[in-house]
Chain A
Amino acid sequence: MNVFLRELRAHRTALIFWCIGMFAMVGSGMGKYAAYESSGTSVNTLVRQLPRAVQIILGMGSFDLSKAIGFYGVLYLYLIVMATIHAAVLGAEIISKEERDRTSEFLFAKPVPRTKVITAKLLAALANMIVLNLVTLVSSIWVVDYYNKGGRPVTGDIVALMAGMFFLQLIFLSIGMSIAAIRKKPKSAASIATAVLLATFILSVAIDINNKLEFLKYLTPFKYFDAQDILPDGRLDLGYVALSGGIIIVLLAVTYRFYAKRDLSI
């Protein structure tokens, strides 16, 4: 409990800034929708004139951009990038910082097993991620609903998207944690985790651009919960949910196992 509370306190300020950032992202992103809409031009026509690759890189895909929820589908890509960066760095740092700040010698001379410390840190990170997810969920529902004049209700869709985002957060949290647990050099854990994130993100864009790469889609979590797949019926693909669960369990097992067995770098 003490380590859990300590971690909550240590990450409190950062979390507040992330939440503000997320809220600002949702607000300003949907603000653009209002601007397009009031200008009277058809956003869809405008966007369709762009080269396909540009459309994909901007995440515009096949959304109906004249609807608030369609526009939000584009914005979702940016939200998950933010949330996964938060998760990956949080996961890597929450484990590695004891060694980086050289407090591991203090902490692990206490009567506490390493596995228990991992559990406390995992729970604290989860709490942080849940708060960020809920803030995104509430601000998304609020803002999208505000612009969604007369369209069909959006809450269900947004809840499904946020559920997808939560799985992505969990995956990248466990990627960050497992890297920090394996690596003896604590300073590099967060940068490796973000490099993995970047690589998988680029892969997901490459798959969108080139259909021949479709078979690689299992390698990048960003393809698991694509807004284009979720939005039509507001459901997550259960196969990908199971795959995500498997990845998370394996990575957490790696985290516990390696961190408990290796020498701490002091």
Chain B
Amino acid sequence: MNIIETKNLTKYYGKSLGIIDVNLSVAEGEIFGFIGPNGAGKSTTIRTLLGLIYPTGGSATIFGKDIIKFGPEIKEEVGYLPSEVFYYDDMKVIDLLKYSGSFYKRDRSVIDKRIKELAGIMDLDLTKKIDDLSYGNKKKVGIVQGLLHQPKLIILDEPTGGLDPLMQQKFFDLLKEENEKGVTILFSSHILSEVQKLCDRVAIIKEGRIIKVQRISDLIEKNYKRFKLQTAAKAEPENISIDGVSDLKIEGTTVSFLYKGPINEITKKLASLDLTDLWAEEPDLEEIFLHYYQKED
């Protein structure tokens, strides 16, 4: 059974576009990346899944249950960290977390213990007032708040903003630990290196539509290579351009491009050139991603 399943999920805000025909399926135990630039529809999709806004078309299920009919029941097992965290300013951190915990049908003592544990890991002072916290610390409250009831599905919307690299690492370790226990994670981000570090599969969204769903490993290893060449004489584009070459840049005798396709085809082509040096590297996701967007434009 898929943990999240959406079928042509569509959301219009009045006439302006939110998301169109989003089809996603996230399997149990998966860390699923959801990536796209700001305004592409990531938050809209997530908020629709959580029942904060209602779809104008299509449907979705979480744990096999319809998101609209069984919203509260589903959310019993969902932990959510929004991209921007806002809490009741007059509350202390510990009171907010206990308030958050009070919504779940769980043993209070278990939740209290988990709050202390998570606050310890994230280095969060529980006695402070929400109002006095820095942005990064509010984010930590958000993380603890999202995990304190030990949910089966964690939904993260741009979760790392405001966290320093050390905290980010701790947070990712925490997520991996949860994932090893069988927890499914939906991780939305516009920062590709995070997704690359953490996720098994990734959906790429642009202007409200899912362009592609792929394994991270496929994206990185199997399909794409980043080539850099040093040629003896000034290279001409037609000497390199074959099917599968993209992002071709030629600056004097330095050439670089992305290649997707049979590796023999490109080496044959390159053999005809007078090379002084050659690098073939794994491109990072950032490059592939950029390439997707450029191609679509």
Contacts and interface: CB of A to CB of B under 8 A. Distances in A.
Contacts of B135: none
Majority SS of interface residues in chain B? loop
A102 B88 CA distance: 9
A2 interface: yes
Interface residues of B, number: 30
B86 A109 contact: no
B103 A266 contact: no
Contacts of A119: none
A32 interface: no
A102 B83 CA distance: 12
A103 B96 CA distance: 11
Contacts of B37: none
Interface stretch (A110-118, A188-196, A207-215): A110-118
Contacts of A110: 75, 100, 103-104
Interface in A69-125: 101-106, 108-113
B94 to A, nearest CB: 14
Given A111-B76, A261-B54, A103 B103 contact: no
A111 B54 contact: no
Contacts of B80: 109
Given A101-B88, A111-B72, A106 B54 contact: no
Interface in A11-56: none
Interface residues of A, number: 20
Interface string A237-266: 000000000000000000000000111101
Nearest to A116: B72
B88 A2 contact: no
Contacts of A185: none
Contacts of A112: 72, 75, 103
Contact of A105 (B52, B73, B75, B100): B52
A26 to B, nearest CB: 30
Contacts of B47: 105, 266
Interface of B: 13, 47, 50-54, 71-76, 78, 80, 82, 84-90, 99-100, 102-105, 145
Given A109-B50, A264-B52, 18 more contacts: A2-B102, A6-B88, A105-B86, A106-B82, A106-B100, A106-B145, A109-B78, A111-B73, A111-B75, A111-B104, A112-B72, A112-B75, A113-B71, A113-B72, A263-B52, A263-B53, A264-B53, A266-B47
Interface of A: 2, 6, 10, 101-106, 108-113, 261-264, 266
30 contacts: A2-B102, A101-B88, A102-B86, A103-B87, A103-B88, A104-B52, A105-B52, A105-B86, A106-B82, A106-B86, A108-B50, A108-B52, A109-B80, A110-B75, A110-B100, A110-B103, A111-B72, A111-B73, A111-B75, A111-B103, A112-B72, A112-B103, A113-B71, A113-B72, A261-B54, A263-B52, A263-B53, A263-B54, A264-B53, A266-B52
